[in-house]
Structure 1
Amino acid sequence: MVYLAPVPTFIRILRKKSTEDFQSLPYLVALFSSMLWLYYAMLKTDALLLITINSFGCFIETVYIAIYIAYATRESWVSTIKLLVSMNMGLFSLILLLTHFLLSGSIRVKALGWICVAFSVCVFAAPLSILRQIIRTKSVEFMPFTLSFFLTLSAVMWFAYGLFINDLCVALPNILGFVLGLVQMLLYGIYKNAEKKKKPAENLKSIVILGTVGASEVYPVGARPDVNEGAVEHDQTEECNGNEKSMEASGVYPVDARPGLNEGAVEHDLTEESDQGDEKSMEASHDDLQSDECAV
């Protein structure tokens, strides 16, 4: 069941033709662990169950990794291939050669057993590789609950089996596996209903950069390479200063903007202009009357 738990994840990958934010590390580590346990079981007697389970594990994990590589982004593809070559091929071959040529008999079995213990712990801890992402985004979308649940259940079953056959190498790592499985399910319970953190694009404010030549350009704040919010404010200040200078040159001012004048001074000027206009119109009317009398 543990090996089949990721099936919904890979069905989703196949449908969307993308690995999205899923990571390959849990499957690479699971394949490596299955390879080690298969080698360990072959050295022991009466370990048919271990051979059967881990043979199936090697097959199904290889299928998962092949699907992941087929739909991964270039960056994820490169990192997955590097881990596959270095860990699943290089490190396993090194362990195989060292234990085969340097150790023998029961010592080889015990040494390999403790190596399996160490990497079994890594299998249980591998899904925690996205712990930081879960806390940052407050979303467990990319930590499958089924995988964590079945890892926990498997740890209980293998612990019981290890005690039954009196093999500490099988029993001990599953204690930690049970604890780590509970931690993963606890995280899932905390964040499964939490609101997803908003993407930065949703909070961007649009600004318009006005050019002296050509059309205006619209950018989100922080998106234009050479302009930030401070620069925008500086440009706006310079634009206002330029408008003031052009007003000074033309002699046109809005109320309260002409230097040295206040509202009272402006009203006084308006009154004087009105009086002068009335006097001139009266003088013109008087001259017209005199002209008419002379003509008579």
Structure 2
Amino acid sequence: MLWMVYGLPIVHPNSTLVLTINAAGTVIELCYVILYLVFSDGPKRLKALLLFLGDLAIVGTVSAIVLIFFHTHERRSLIVGILCVIFCIIMYLAPLTVMFVTLVSTVQSSVIKTKSVEYMPLSLSVASFCNGLCWTIYALIRFDLYITIPNTLGLLFSITQLVLHVLYYKSTKMQIAERKKKGEVGLTDVIVVDSLKTSASAPSQ
């Protein structure tokens, strides 16, 4: 949402694409949040709701401070741009945390240690690569430093993920096959059944 603030004409003029694309992304992410809130249980729903409200509070506070206390496009772009760089880098780094440590069924493991990319989705890595590449090209054409820095780093992080997928593709398949032989179930094998369907299929008394 901070990128929407950055793309506003009163903050960073002539950034229509930044504003509209990130607005569309915000709507999609809002749908994800709503679905999570609807289908999650009490404690998880409360935690997600608090995080969401905290996010709104941060964006609202930043927007108010920038618009009230800074009166030039340069200053507004500087403040919001720096925050966008920080949060965008964190976003790109998030999938890489599985490289070092992932808590799965109380067993501490990592991609490098286990030589498995089972819990680092290829689709996410490819999407991050394409996103980073497109925004880097766009930023270089306009030479927008605040868009160039995080997306160039994101592009490099995504390439790292893709390299790991290439290196550990075979070993991942072997580990999954071995686990299935032993009758073990991984997170990627779990099927979530709708409770309503389950109750509907139960025999009536």
Q: Normalising to structure 1: TM-score of the pair? A: 0.50
Aligned residue in 2 for 1:219:
none
Q: Residue 12 of structure 2 contacts residue 76 of structure 2 at CA under 8 Å; is this kept in 1?
A: no
Match of residue 40 from structure 1: 6
Residue 54, structure 1, aligned to residue 49, structure 2: no
Counterpart check, 1:91 vs 2:58: yes
- Change beyond 3 A, Cα 1:84–1:178: same
Residue 140 of structure 2 corresponds to which residue in structure 1?
A: 163
1:131-178: per-residue Cα shift (whole Å, max 9, x none)? 422627765444321121121122122111111112111111111101
Change (3 A) 1:202 1:75: farther
CA displacement 1:38-83 (0-9 Å, x = unmatched): 1111122221111221111011111122222333354543432232
2:80 is the alignment partner of 1:80:
no
Distance 2:121 2:153 in 1: 20
Structure number with greater Rg is: 1
After superposition, the Cα gap between the structure-2 partners of 1:163 and 1:100, relative to the gap in structure 1 and judged at 3 Å, is: same
Provide the rounded CA distance (Å) in 2 between the counterparts of 1:73 and 1:144. 25
Runs of 4+ in 1 over 4 A off after TM superposition: 136-139, 196-199
Paired letter, 1:161: Y
Question: CA distance change for structure 1 residues 128 and 84 in 2, over 3 Å: closer, same or farther?
Answer: farther
Structure 1 residues 187 and 53, CA gap change in structure 2 (3 angstroms): same
1:104 aligns with 2:71: yes
**Alignment deviations for residues 233-263 of structure 1 (CA, whole Å, 9 cap, x no partner):** xxxxxxxxxxxxxxxxxxxxxxxxxxxxxxx
Structure 2: 5+ residue stretches without partners: 103-108, 185-205
Match of 1:177 in 2: 154
Indicate the percent of aligned positions where both proteins have the same amino acid: 26
Q: Tell me, which stretches of 5 or more residues in structure 1 are unaligned? A: 1-34, 204-296
Counterparts of 1:130 and 1:70, CA distance in 2: 27
Distance 2:93 2:13 in 1: 29
Deviations 1:79-106 (A, max 9, x none): 32232122x2121122112212222212
TM-fit CA distance, 1:191: 4.1
> What CA deviation, in whole Å up to 9, does each residue of 1:194-230 have, x standing for no partner?
214869x979xxxxxxxxxxxxxxxxxxxxxxxxxxx
Instruction: Work out whether residues 132 and 154 of structure 2, in 8 Å CA contact, stay in contact via their aligned partners in 1.
Output: yes
Partner of 2:163: 186
Residues 66 and 141 of structure 1: is their aligned pair in 2 closer, same or farther, counting only changes over 3 Å? Answer: farther
Number of matched residues? 167
Deviation of 1:190 (Å) = 4.0
